[in-house]
Amino acid sequence: MSQFSHFAQLWRTSTVRLTATFILIFGIFSILLLGFIGWQSNVSIQRQQADEIDREVRILQRIDANQGVRALAFAVERISRAPGPGVYFLGDASGQYLLGNVTDVPVDVLLTPGTYGFDYERADALTDNPEQLEGRDPQPAKSGYAVVRSVELSNGMRLVVGRDVVERRGFSAIIIQSFLIGVLGIIAFSIIAGGITAQRVLRRIDAIRDTSTKIMSGNLSERVPVTRRNDEFDGLATNLNAMLDRIEQLLQGLKEVTDNVAHDLKTPLTRLRNQAESALREGASDETRQQALETTIAESDRLIQTFNALLMIARAEAGAPSGALKDNDVSAIVADVAELYGPVAEDAGIVVETTITEGVHLHANRELIGQAMVNLLENAVKYARPEGQGEGQAQGRITVGLRRAGDRVLIEVADNGPGIPEPDRQRVIERFVRLEKSRSESGSGLGLSLVNAVARLHGGSFRVEDNAPGVRAVIDLPAA
């Protein structure tokens, strides 16, 4: 039963089915080719024999016409004794046998000249030297089938010249036998090769299935094995492994988000509860209750902002819906946001400079690009002041730029603040990550994560670079 199920499993594979289809096609083609070659071989041999018969008839007729009956009889006697498939008969005007290696010829063949085929018997005594037959037992007659041409000579004698076709049939049989053996050998080899190929394919598929089973059981670190053959299965395995890496990253990110949400929301929720308790405490004044309600509303607004940022990141990472990306003047979007934050930066003692290339259009979502610029400028306003400078001193500087670089469009927001250490530049893009020196500032640690999600939604990337001093945030988008 196991062998039958194994065979059924092999038969269900595309490799075995394709191999069986090719074997069937090859078998049909081979049979047709075999029949055609056999037919062509018979036709060719038959034509060759007919040409030889006609040639010998013309020679014997010329001998009869030029040298007489005696020379004709000598010639027929000589060629009759030669070994080979030749059939010869020379008779008088009435058809009586005179010479040749065949004695019995049908009457209609002798009476009416033409081309015929008939069964005959030929004894060795007619084809061997009589002196050589003395003291030997007579040999049995040889039977066969001959194709002959009958002619009437100028002196009235009957001449029959032909060829035994048994040799021709034997040659055709050899051709057919050889082709049959070859076809059967190729079919057997194809079946063996198909089985071996199917086994290899099944092993590769089983490896993928086993890996997926382990992954479904919870081991997300498992990967499909990749060989050195660099074939289509390796290409599939590479893509699957890349997909699994991405899924593992997303699940790890989801776990981190869950942990960070639980950690970062615990403190404001605790404050909300404490404010509510203080407002409900006996003897609390109206002013205390009013302040508790205001604090509760402020904390609730921050929580709502955090969840809105999370929802926006999730939507951006999920991909843009149909029709969400349109042709937009990105230069105008960047300029509008920079102009909007000019007064805010000025109040903080920071100078905003712009180097924006005009007329840059992209297939983008206006709201998301604008939100990404808002997040970058808010961060820049917070951290643009050089270390050791007060908030009211106009030494901070923010540069907002947009330029083309080949087939890319670069949106840059740079400041001259304290900067970010190189080991932390990639980490600050993750959700809820806030460096130690940022703990004193308000925020949820989701701003740069949203910028990164928006960049990836538009087919680009986001990176944080050193501005020496300060930070340069770069949104790198494809121009096409």
Q: Tell me the pLDDT tens digit for each residue of 325-334.
A: 788 899 999 9
Closest CA to 414 of 375, 470, 370: 470
- Count of CB atoms situated within 10 Å of the CB of 25: 10
In 431-446, which positions are buried (b, 16+ CB within 10 angstroms) versus exposed (e)? bbbeeeebeeeebbbb
Band (206; pLDDT cuts 50, 70, 90): confident
Checking if the pLDDT of 443 tops 60, the result is no
Return the closest-CA partner of residue 379 out of 421, 349, 335, 419: 419
Quickly tell me which residue has 């096409």 as its tokens. 480
Q: What is the pTM of this model?
A: 0.47
Distance, CA of 155 to CA of 66 (rounded, Å): 12
Q: Do domains 223-318 and 326-478 have the same CATH topology?
A: no
Determine which helix (DSSP H) or strand (DSSP E) holds 152, and give its type and residue range: strand 142-152
Determine which of 21-25, 128-132, 227-231, 359-363 has the lowest per-residue pLDDT on average: 128-132
Amino acid present at 52: E
Domain parsing of the chain, residue ranges: 1-67+169-220, 83-164, 223-318, 326-478
Q: What is the pLDDT of residue 444?
A: 56
- Segment 435-444 shows an average pLDDT of 50
**What single DSSP character describes residue 417?**
S
Q: Of the segments 266-275, 287-296, 351-360, which one has the largest average pLDDT value? A: 351-360
Torsion of CA 239, 409, 312, 378, to 10 degrees: 140
Which sign does the torsion angle of CA 12, 15, 18, 24 carry? Answer: negative
N-term to C-term CA, the chain: 60
**What amino acid occupies position 350?**
I
Amino acid identity, position 29: F
DSSP reduced 3-state for 230: coil
The alpha carbon of 191 is separated from its chain's Cα centroid by a whole number of angstroms, namely 24
**Quick one: pLDDT at residue 394?**
43
Which residue has 């893509």 as its token pair? Answer: 239
pLDDT at 438 over 60: no
Cβ burial, residue 231 (10 Å; 0-12/13-18/19+): exposed
Closest CA relative to residue 112, chosen from 88, 96, 95, 97:
95
Residue 167 has pLDDT above 70, yes or no: no
Predicted confidence band at 474 (pLDDT cuts at 50, 70, 90)? very high
Distance CA(87)–CA(106), nearest Å, equals 14
Top pLDDT among 403 and 84 is at: 403
Question: pLDDT higher for 340 or 11?
Answer: 340
Model pLDDT, residue 475: 92
> Quick one: how far is CA 248 from the chain centroid?
26
Q: What is the mean pLDDT of residues 79-93?
A: 86
Helices and strands per DSSP (H, E), number in the chain: 10, 12
Highest-scoring range by mean pLDDT, 11-20, 266-275, 386-395? 266-275
pLDDT band of 363, cuts 50, 70, 90: confident
Of residues 133 and 111, the one with the higher pLDDT is: 111
- Mean pLDDT over residues 35-58, rounded? 83
User: Hey, which CATH number is domain 326-478, 1.10.1070.20, 3.40.50.720, 3.30.70.360, 3.30.565.10?
Assistant: 3.30.565.10
The maximal CA–CA distance of the chain, rounded, in angstroms, is 160
Higher model confidence: residue 435 or residue 243? 243
Asked if residue 469 has a cis previous peptide bond (ω within 30° of 0), the answer is yes
- Amino acid identity of residue 94, one-letter, is S
Instruction: Provide the pLDDT confidence category of residue 2 given band limits of 50, 70 and 90.
Output: low
The pLDDT of residue 315 is above 80: no
CA dist., res. 480 & res. 476, Å (int): 12
Averaged over 231-256, what is the pLDDT? 81
Residue 204 clears pLDDT 60, i.e. is over it: yes
Q: Is the pLDDT of residue 278 over 90?
A: no
pLDDT tens per residue across span 415-430 = 888 888 877 777 777 7
Of the candidates 76, 179, 195, 92, which has an alpha carbon nearest to the alpha carbon of residue 126?
76
User: Which range in 130-134, 291-295, 383-387 is most confidently predicted, on average pLDDT?
Assistant: 291-295
Amino acid identity for residue 178 in this structure: S
Q: What is the pLDDT of residue 125?
A: 41
In the predicted model, what is the mean pLDDT of residues 260-278?
73
Average pLDDT of every residue of the chain: 78
Q: What is the pLDDT of residue 130?
A: 47
Cβ atoms of 24 and 32 within 8 Å: the answer is no
Q: Answer with the residue of higher pLDDT: 170 or 462.
A: 462
Q: Which of helix, strand or coil describes residue 72?
A: helix
Choose among 323, 304, 306, 413: nearest CA to 366: 323
Res 436: pLDDT: 47
Three-state DSSP state, 420? coil
Among candidate residues 312, 352, 320, the one with its CA nearest the CA of residue 446: 312
Percent of the chain whose pLDDT exceeds 70 = 79
Q: H-helix or E-strand containing 356?
A: strand 350-356
Q: Based on C-alpha coordinates, what's the Rg of the chain?
A: 51
Whether 466 shows a pLDDT value over 80: the answer reads yes
Per the CB < 8 A criterion, the answer to whether 103 and 142 are in contact is no
Distance of CA 396 to the CA centre of its chain: 57
Task: Please check the confidence at residue 132 and state whether its pLDDT lies above 50.
Answer: no
Residue 123 has pLDDT above 70, yes or no: no
pLDDT of residue 316: 66
Average pLDDT over residues 419-447: 64
Q: Which residue has the tokens 């080899």?
A: 189
Name which residue leads in pLDDT, 315 or 225.
225
What's the rounded mean pLDDT across residues 341-348? Answer: 86
Which distant-in-sequence residues (6+ apart) come within 8 Å of 71 by Cβ?
63, 64
CATH of 223-318 among 1.20.120, 1.10.3470, 1.10.10, 1.10.287:
1.10.287
CA atoms of 17 and 22, how far apart (whole Å): 9
Q: Are 350 and 381 in contact, with CB atoms under 8 Å apart?
A: yes
Q: Which has more pLDDT, 374 or 14?
A: 374
pLDDT score recorded for residue 411 = 93
